[in-house]
């Protein structure tokens, strides 16, 4: 069985699934990506294929159609790269619907079933609109952003039309998609790698020894608070976190904050409002006085270092607007961390307040600080929440838990395309 995984941003959501299928099931998996580092990767069980788009959107391209233009160029590059490799004859194609990954592959493999990860469908206005939610807090959303939102979904819809089956990681994400496609869409989480995200950090530290996290020595009695986001930006509530952290540090001075993430803004228009600053982080820090000796900004951490941090933290704080749920929250829960999350739809789907974690109002840094201080003052009291979170991930969201559902979807996709020819 040969499976072709297609995602421009290696390793994406498919790498651990491809590894599982290769090592546990014995399938041949090929990962097609636009990330050039695959060219220097040593040979491994999952084969890789690099593609490079030959064009893309320019300043002359209408702002509302640039995402679609770039996706079409990716479709073309993927088609050419796969066509040039005669060893690729997939029995199944799995792609990300937002990037146009598989659209042209139908021309090469018309009888090969296609499965899509349907990550997000944008709503310009209303209770499910990330734009309206964000605008309430900081700055007005520009008219062209609402216009672009109506165009973001074009390639997603083409891929939904083009695939046999699609899946969303959460029920919240599934609820965003048009009802017309519900018959071919399922809710299956990506799967957490429990081999990596559990048991590191605290369990590796001899009793009575100080913690060393991301190269920083932490005193035996110092509380550790972690915050993780691919980009330190408003969509993931970085500014709210910092305002909460200031009060936390004032009322509980023996604390250290580890902030993981880059200065890259992945979502939103933060950089249009930073008043000449180089990053949203720099802008946030310029708006108040912070004792930065209590903060370590690590940048992006390797997975093992991130696992050690999350397993060593006394409290993990996670915020997001109603949007794609970050893996980092689930990774923290898998490590047994006590998680304080924003009371927004994707988070509330996973965290039950007071049962397997804590929730606070996204818009209220004081709410976050008050609940964080309660944990830091008595970590043992709240540790059962972390244990419940770990148990939940293991039973419902780990790779081992979701792979039977994933395998059934793959087989159903194959049956679907066979029935079309009968």
Query: pTM score, two decimals?
Result: 0.93
Q: What share of the chain is helix, strand, coil (3-state, %, to 5)?
A: 45, 20, 35
Which DSSP string corresponds to 315-368? Answer: EEEE---SSPPPHHHHHHHHTT--EEEE-SHHHHHH--BTTTBEEE-TT-HHHH
Confidence at residue 69, expressed as pLDDT on a 0 to 100 scale? 95
Same domain, 224 and 353: yes
Residue 14 lies in a domain: yes
Question: By the 8 A CB rule, do 250 and 259 touch?
Answer: no
Same domain, 335 and 276: yes
Asked if residue 98 is part of any domain, the answer here is yes
- How many Å apart are CA 124 and CA 113, to the nearest integer? 32
Q: Give me the mean pLDDT over the 131-136 stretch.
A: 64
User: Does the pLDDT of residue 205 top 70, yes or no?
Assistant: no
How far is residue 34's CA from residue 38's CA, in Å, rounded to a whole number?
A: 9
- My answer on whether 388 and 404 are in the same domain is no
Three-state DSSP state, 217: strand
Determine the average pLDDT of the residues in 280-284: 95
363, 216: one domain? yes
Give the three-state DSSP class for 226. Answer: strand
Q: What CA–CA distance (Å, rounded) separates 397 from 269?
A: 32
Same domain, 229 and 260: yes
- Same domain? For 210 and 115 the reply is no
pLDDT for position 46:
92
My answer on whether omega of the bond before 77 falls inside 30° of 0, hence cis, is no
Res 135: pLDDT: 59
Q: Model confidence over 34-43: pLDDT tens digits?
A: 988 888 777 7
**Signed CA dihedral, 369, 371, 376, 377: sign only:** positive
Q: Which residues contact 367 (CB under 8 A, 6 or more apart)?
A: 360, 361
CA 357 – CA 338 distance, rounded (Å) = 6
Residue 228's alpha-carbon distances to 191, 225, 241, in angstroms, are: 19, 10, 11
Statement to judge: residues 262 and 315 lie in one domain:
yes
Supply the pLDDT for residue 209: 56
- For the chain, give the percent of residues with pLDDT over 90: 75
Number of Cα atoms under 13 Å in the Cβ half of residue 90 = 28
Environment class of 38 (CB within 10 Å of its CB; exposed 0-12, middle 13-18, buried 19+): middle
Q: Clarify whether residues 356 and 404 are in a common domain.
A: no
Q: What is the mean pLDDT of residues 319-346?
A: 95
122 & 256 share domain: no
Q: Which of 104-118, 302-316, 345-359, 371-385 has the lowest mean pLDDT?
A: 302-316
In this predicted structure, the answer to whether residue 199 has a pLDDT above a threshold of 60 is: no
Tens digits of residue pLDDT in 109-129: 999 999 999 999 998 877 677
- Of the two residues 196 and 3, the one the predictor is more confident about is 3
In the numeric block, which tokens belong to residue 132? 């309206």
Strand partners, 299: 260
Q: Domain of 278: which CATH number?
A: 3.40.50.2000
What does pLDDT average to over the chain? 91
The reply to whether 77 and 164 lie within a common domain is: yes
Q: Give the model's pLDDT for residue 40.
A: 78
Domain hosting 114: range is 2-191+399-420
Nearest-10 Cα torsion for 193, 199, 200, 206? -170
Q: What is the mean predicted confidence (pLDDT) over 388-402? A: 96
pLDDT band at 139 (very low <50, low <70, confident <90, very high): low
What pLDDT does 99 receive? 86
Q: Is the pLDDT of residue 203 over 60?
A: no
Q: How many domains does the chain have?
A: 2
Separation of CA 131 from chain center: 19
Q: Do the domain assignments include residue 196?
A: no
Q: State the average pLDDT over residues 354-374.
A: 97
pLDDT over 70 (residue 3): yes
Q: For 141-172, write each residue's pLDDT tens digit.
A: 778 888 888 898 999 999 999 999 999 999 99
């Amino acid at each position: 069985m040969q499976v072709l995984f297609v995602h421009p941003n290696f390793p994406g959501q498919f790498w651990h699934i491809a590894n599982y299928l290769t090592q546990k099931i014995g399938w041949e998996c090929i990962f097609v990506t636009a990330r050039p580092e695959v060219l220097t990767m040593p040979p491994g069980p999952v084969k890789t294929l690099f593609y490079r788009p030959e064009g893309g959107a320019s300043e002359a391209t209408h702002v509302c159609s640039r995402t679609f233009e770039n996706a079409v160029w990716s479709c073309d590059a993927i088609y050419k790269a796969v066509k040039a490799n005669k060893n690729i004859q997939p029995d199944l194609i799995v792609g990300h619907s937002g990037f146009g990954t598989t659209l042209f592959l139908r021309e090469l493999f018309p009888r090969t079933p296609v499965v899509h990860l349907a990550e997000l469908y944008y709503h310009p206005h209303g209770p499910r609109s990330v734009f309206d939610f964000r605008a309430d807090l900081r700055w007005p959303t520009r008219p062209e952003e609402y216009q672009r939102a109506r165009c973001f979904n074009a390639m997603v819809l083409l891929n939904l039309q083009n695939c046999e089956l699609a899946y969303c990681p959460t029920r919240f994400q599934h609820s965003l998609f048009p009802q017309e496609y519900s018959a071919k869409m399922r809710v299956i989480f990506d799967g957490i790698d429990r081999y990596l995200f559990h048991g590191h950090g605290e369990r590796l530290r001899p009793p009575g020894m100080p913690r060393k996290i991301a190269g920083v020595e932490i005193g035996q009695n110092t509380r550790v608070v972690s915050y993780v986001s691919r980009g330190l930006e408003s969509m993931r509530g970085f500014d709210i976190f910092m305002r909460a952290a200031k009060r936390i540090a004032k009322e509980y001075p023996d604390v250290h904050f580890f902030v993981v993430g880059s200065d890259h803004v992945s979502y939103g228009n933060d950089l249009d409002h930073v008043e000449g600053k180089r990053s949203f982080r720099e802008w946030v820090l310029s708006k108040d006085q912070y004792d930065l000796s209590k903060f370590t900004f690590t940048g992006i951490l390797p997975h093992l270092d991130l696992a050690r941090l999350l397993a060593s933290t006394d409290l993990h704080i996670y915020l997001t607007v109603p949007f794609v749920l970050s893996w980092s929250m689930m990774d923290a829960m898998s490590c047994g961390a006590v998680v304080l999350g924003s009371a927004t739809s994707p988070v509330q789907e996973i965290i039950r307040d007071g049962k397997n974690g804590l929730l606070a109002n996204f818009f209220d840094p004081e709410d976050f600080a008050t609940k964080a201080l309660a944990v830091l003052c008595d970590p043992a009291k709240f540790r059962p929440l972390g244990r419940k979170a770990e148990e939940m991930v293991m039973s419902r969201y780990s790779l081992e838990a979701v792979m039977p559902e994933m395998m059934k979807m793959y087989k159903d996709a194959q049956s679907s395309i066979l029935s079309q020819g009968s």
